[in-house]
Structure 1
């Protein structure tokens, strides 16, 4: 739109899956997007896709489990774009096929360190930059709302992400900052394909989903982008399911 002010933001874990889909959708809407990912090549690929479509993107490598890396990546985004209007904390890691007594403390700590502490670190360094307005979306999981069998560390971490979201929403609402979570169910991403390889997991997930299929990354991304938009100006502190009816 002629004369429109360009919005700027960042998406973590934007090298593939939901993060990539969200970054592409923000760019289609005219935003400049910093594409953050642990995999530098994947981040560059997403940024390249945005550039080929006429959008503006910046590829930045980040390890969300490391505070200095998070601080540097967010700082780089602000240095290039001059500010931050929205942030999507999507990066995380899976952990499955372990009952609680089979899980080592090291693995439990690692999963919480990436999924929960990593989200905390992103929020910590994003929130001060959004003072006066802006939106943050944390990508949690249906595992942040109910149990996923044999995934205790993942479920604990994602429940924590939902809790952080609610507290941040209440604490920062007086500053005009909105914080929400999106909770996808099983989604057709490369990460899920790796988990399901050699099993009937996808068929089983589809069988217990009311809509009869997994979500597409673009569908979860659409919820993320909406929550960051003015159309959701009075929405904060929610955990929005994108799960084909599983929560119902």
Structure 2
């Protein structure tokens, strides 16, 4: 029937290559690695079916035999990066293990800055993502809570880490585009903020500023965020 929408499918349920012909010259892993290299070098906008095909050494139309849609290519990329997670033997302290998971995810996102743009629950059930989720649940074995709540914890932690890193990356990108140093920028803005606080128009902000006038400690702020999230799931006596 003309105009009928294509039926949804999962890339992982498809064979590695459709159609007849000789044995495939490369694999999905090769395609994913090529796409990740392009994204690492030039950002997500540098990834196109044409550029990926050139990277692996085939024609663009041939690539569609392996990856039907660009969305499938993105899913391959996310799965490839998920495979970089280190899966260790849990130590028995669920808070320590989940804090380690979060720190590792943050490092991974800085290594692949484009990843924050592709984070989606839709890509959460690829092979490496499933191994990652199973590992997180193993880390949470000591936590007395139903699995539904444990999945909420993992999802909340991932969401907060993604948002935190996206903010960090945006600040870094802005700093690189400035014609002056980050220190100069900060000094000017702090001086302006101080003048506004001193005006008396913002008494609560003035009190807050007097309590802690120092620069923001990003590492400390990240650790504090993790602690607050984990506190919410700590069993109440």
- Report the TM-score when normalising by structure 1: 0.28
- Report the TM-score when normalising by structure 2: 0.29
Larger radius of gyration: 2
More helix by share: 2
